[in-house]
Amino acid sequence: MIIHKIYVDEMWGSEKETYKISPKKATQAFNNLVREEISQVYEPIGKEDFSEKVADFRKWESEYKILCRKMPLIIYKDEENRLKARIYSWGQPDYEYGEADIESKEVILEEIEINE
């Protein structure tokens, strides 16, 4: 039996885990979670910064095929056949210098095989 796990992976761990049996429902939950995460970003990155991130992705992670790239996200499949949506945004400004760094988080859809 195959179930689908949908979750947000951030630097400090995963959150918002949901499980679906139907691939259609899993894709729908994945899309909804991507929309929700995009709506919650502090400040989306600009066009030039996004182009830079896409170029970096193609250079450093060339083994992955980009399925979709639309500012501020890149959707791709990794070597474990997990569907990932990487969302880029500006982080909160640093208190000491008042500058912000580009942060990313990933929404992941993966298939898990369960032996009964």
For 40-85, how does the pLDDT look when each residue is reduced to its tens digit (9 = 90+)? 876 778 888 888 888 988 888 888 888 988 888 999 998 888 999 9
Radius of gyration of the chain (CA): 15
Q: Over pLDDT 90: what percentage of the chain? A: 34
